[in-house]
Chains A and B, each alone.
Chain A
Amino acid sequence: MSSPILKLIAQRIALGILLLLAISVLIFAGTQILPGDVAQAILGQSATPESLANLREQLGLNDPAYVRYFHWLGGVLTGDLGTAMSSGQDIATSIKGRLWNTLFLAFWAAIVAVPLAIILGLIAVRYRNGWVDKLISGLALASTSFPEFFVGYLLVYFFAVHWQIFPAISTVYDGMPFGERMQAIALPAAALTLVVLAHMMRMTRAAILNVMQSAYVETAELKGLSAFSVIRKHAFPNAIAPIINVVMLNLAYLIVGVVVVEVIFVYPGMGQYLVDHVTKRDVPVVQAVGLIFAAVYISLNIIADIAAIVANPRLRHPK
C-alpha cells in the first residue's frame, strides 16, 4: 500500500542529497574565485616569499582545485570542517555551540509563530472580508513591512528600556539555567515571530479560501456544521500542503536569515559568526557555514515535500 509513497519520499531525499553536493561545489568554487591569497592573508604584508611558499605547500594550496575540493568534502563528511584561519580554532567545535544557539532561538520563535499564524489565518477566513479579517491582515502586513532592525529596536525601546521586562542584550552561555535563557531570547524571538507571521498567515488564509469554493465545503455547511468547524474539519485538511510549504520556508528563514536580529541583540548565533568571519575573509568558516545553511534549507524543503505527499490521501491510499 505504501510503496508509491516510499518511492516518492526516497526520490525527494536522493534529490536533496544531489542538490546539496551541487551546492558544495558551488560554495567551494565561489570561495576560490574570490580575489586574494589565503597564505598572504594569514601571514600579512611582511611575509617573505619563502614563508608564503611554505605555507601554501602546508595548506595544500598548490594542489589542483578538484583535489582540494575532494579533500574538503571528505573532511566535511567525517565531521572535520577545517580550522579557522583567523583564530586557528577548530571550526566544527566553535560552530556547534553557535548552531545550537541559533536552533534554540529558531525553535522558540517557531513554536510561537507557526500556530499563531495558522490560527490567525483560520480566524481571518472565518470572518473573511469583515473587520476582523482586515485587522488581522493589516497588523500582520505592517509587522512584516517594518524592517527587522526597526521591529527589534522598537521591542528594545519598550520592553528593555521603558518597562525593563526583558534584557536588551541576549547574552547566553553554556550551563545557563533554562528560565534565564528563555528570558534572554524573549525579545529576539518576538522580533522574529513578528517578521515571519504575516507570510504564513496570509498563505494559510489564501490556501483555505481557495478550498472554501469546493463543493464539499457546501456539503459540510448543509450538514449544519458551524462556520468554524467547516473551516477546521473540511477546508484546512485540504489546504495543508501549501501551508506546510510556506511554513518550512519561514522556518528556514528563522535559521539562516536571522543575521540582523542576532546583531541587534548581540546573540551568539550562526549569523553573527558568519558575518564576523566574512569580514575577516576567513574562507574555511564561510564555506562551512554556507554548507550548513544550504543543508538546513534543503532538509526543511524536503520535509515540506514529504509532508505534502503524506497529506495527500490519493497517494496515501491508492486505488
Chain B
Amino acid sequence: MANGMAKSTPLLDIRNLRIEATVYPPGEAPKTITLVHDVSLTLEKGKVLGLIGESGAGKSTIGLSSMGYGRGGVRITGGEVILNGRDILKGGKEGFRKLRGREVCYVAQSAAAAFNPAHRLMDQVVEATLLHGTATRAEAEKRAIALFKKLSLPNPETIGERFPHQVSGGQLQRVMTAMALCSEPDLIVFDEPTTALDVTTQIDVLAAIKDAIRDTHVAALYITHDLAVVAQVSDEIMVLRHGRLVEWGGTRQIIKEPRQEYTNALVSVHEIEHQEQNPGATPFLSVKNVTAAYGGGQVKVLKNVSVDIYPGQTLAVVGESGSGKSTLARAITGLLPPEQGTVTFDGRPLANRLADRPKEDLRQLQMIYQMADVAMNPRQTVGTIIGRPLEFYFGIRGRERDRRVAELLDEIEMGKGFIDRYPAELSGGQKQRVCIARSLAAKPKLIICDEVTSALDPLVANGILKLLLNLQEHEKVAYLFITHDLATVKSIADSIAVMYRGEVVRYGSKSKVLTPPFDAYTDLLLSSVPEMEIGWLEKAIKGRRMASAGN
C-alpha cells in the first residue's frame, strides 16, 4: 500500500472544480445555476476521503466528476480533474469510457436499483473487467468469487448465478462493492452505500467495505450525509455545503475539534433534550392482541401486538424494515383490518375497517408519511392542501378557512407567503411541515408519523423533530412515531415498542427500554447505531450477540 511516490503525485487531484446545470423553472426563462463552486481536493493512493454534507451540497456531483460523469444536464464547466497524472476532462467521451470501470468504479446508494434485473449477478460483476480487457472471463470470475468471499457473502461460489431479486439488499450492496473491486481500479466512489440499509445490516456492509478497502489498497471517495458512518472508514473528511468547501481535515480533527460552526452543527445534530413523561392513568388508544396478515391470511405481519398510547405523549415504534411497524399503523387506521384483536379509542372499540368508521373517528387519527412530496397533490396549493381538512371535517370555508390556514402556517414556522405556493416550489423540510399542518388542521388526538424524518437531511430532520415536540406541548396531541432510527427515538419518545418480525419484543417507558439488561434483538439494534467515535465499528462488531436478519 505504501507508495513512496504517493506524496509527490496524488492519485486524484481536483483543482477549482466548477459544475453547472441548466434549470427550467416553470414560467421563467431557463437559467444556469452553479452546483459546485471551485472546489479542490487531493487523494493519495490507498486513502479514503469522506465527502459529507446535506442534499444539494454537491458531494455526489463532485464524486462523479472523477469519472467525468454528470447526472441529468449537469456539466463540468471549469477546473481540472487530474487522475493518475493527466487531466481527464481533456480526454473527451472516448477517454471517459476508457477510465470508467477500469481506473474508477462506482458503488451506488441503492444496489437493488443499480443492478440490472434482467441479468445474472456474475455477468454484471465481471462486465467492466471483460469490457476493458484486463482479464479473461475465467480469471475475472475467479477474482469475483474471491471478492465475494472477502465480503463474507453466503455461498460465494454460486451467488453469482443468482438474479438481483433473489438476493437481499445488504448482500446486493456487497456484491456491488465486489463489482467495483473486480476490475482492480485505483479509485472507488462510494455514493451513500449504506444509507438505504437497515441499521443492523449497515454495520455488516460497512465492515465489509472497510476490510475490502484495506486489503485491496484501493483509494476511495466515500460520500454520505452521516458523519458517524464516514468517521468509521475515512482517513480524511471534507465537509461541503451548497457546493462550497466548509472544512477539510483529518477524521479525528473533524469529529473532535471541528473548526467551523456548520461542522459543529453536523457533529452535534442529534442532541435534543426531551424529558420523558410518565404514562397517565388511562390510555386513550389501546391496541390489544392485534394480529394482521396480507394475502388473505397467508403472510402474518403482526403477531399478537398490544400497545397503549397516552394523551399528549409519544409512543415510538422501532424496528428494521419488514418488522411490521407500518403495518401496525395500517391496522390502527383501519387500512388493513386486523384478523384478531381490537383497537379501542376513548374506551370504545373502533370499527376494524376504515369504511365502517364514522367521520369523527377518522378526524381523530391523522397520518404523516415519509415521502412528503408524494403525499400531497402536486396541482394543489399549500392553502388548498391545508384547508381541505378544515372544510371536510369542520365545514369551515371562505375567510374563516384562510384565517385558520394562516394560523396553521404560523404554527409550523412558515409564513403566510406560502399559501399560494405549489408543493414543487417547497424544499423537502417545508413539504413535511405542510403535511404536519394538514394533519393538525383536523385537530386530531393522535398523529401517526411514519418515518417522517427518514428522507430528510439531519439538520432539517432535527428541525422537524423540534417542531413536533413544540406542537405536542401546545396542542396536546399524541404521536405514534414509527422509525428505524434510534437516535430519533431517544430525542422524542416517552415510551418505546421494539418490533422484530411482527412481534413486540420489548415495550415500556423510554428509560426502561433503553436501560440494560437488553434482550438479544434490542441489544443488536442499539449496538448497531453508529457512534461518532473512531474505532466504534470494530468494537461494535466484536460485541454483537446475534447476527442481523438482512445478512
Contacts and interface: CB of A to CB of B under 8 A. Distances in A.
Nearest to A216: B116
B113 A214 contact: yes
Contact of B108 (A215, A234, A313): A215
Interface in B102-156: 102, 105-106, 108, 110, 113-119, 124, 127-128, 131-132
Contacts of A314: 117, 163, 165
A238 B116 contact: yes
Interface string A185-228: 00000000000000000000000000000111011111111100
B117 A222 contact: no
Interface string B74-112: 000000000000000000000011111110011010100
Contact of A219 (B102, B114, B166): B114
A238 B118 contact: yes
A237 B119 contact: yes
Contacts of A218: 71, 108, 114
Most buried by B among A234, A313, A319: A313
Q: Which of B98, B102, B118, B124 has the most CB of A within 10 A?
A: B118
A134 interface: no
Interface residues of B, number: 30
Interface centre among A222, A225, A238 (most CB of B within 10 A): A222
Contacts of A221: 69, 100
A313 B131 contact: no
Contacts, number: 72
A288 to B, nearest CB: 43
B71 A220 contact: no
B218 to A, nearest CB: 16
A220 B166 contact: no
Contact of A317 (B101, B115, B166): B166
Nearest to B166: A319
A157 B98 CA distance: 52
Given A222-B67, A237-B119, A216 B113 contact: yes
Contacts of A220: 116, 127
A224 B165 contact: no
A224 B165 CA distance: 24
A314 B131 CA distance: 27
B118 A222 contact: no
B100 A317 contact: no
Contact of A313 (B98, B128, B163): B163
A225 B131 contact: yes
Contacts of B117: 216, 238, 313-314
B165 A319 contact: yes
Nearest to A219: B114
Contacts of A219: 106, 108, 114-116, 124
Chain A: number of interface residues, binned into ranges: 10 to 19
Nearest to B132: A224
Contacts of B71: 218
Interface string A223-246: 111100000001001100000000
Nearest to A318: B166
A224 B101 contact: yes
A317 B119 CA distance: 11
Nearest to A215: B113
Given A215-B113, A223-B131, A237 B101 contact: no
A319 to B, nearest CB: 5
Interface in B343-361: none
Interface in A64-104: none
Contacts of B127: 220, 223, 225
A221 B98 CA distance: 11
Interface in A234-276: 234, 237-238
Contacts of B99: 224
A317 B161 CA distance: 11
Nearest to A225: B131
Given A218-B71, A218-B108, A223 B166 contact: no
B132 A222 contact: no
B113 A224 contact: no
Nearest to B119: A237
Contacts of A238: 116-118
Nearest to B189: A222
Contacts of B128: 223-224
A216 B164 CA distance: 11
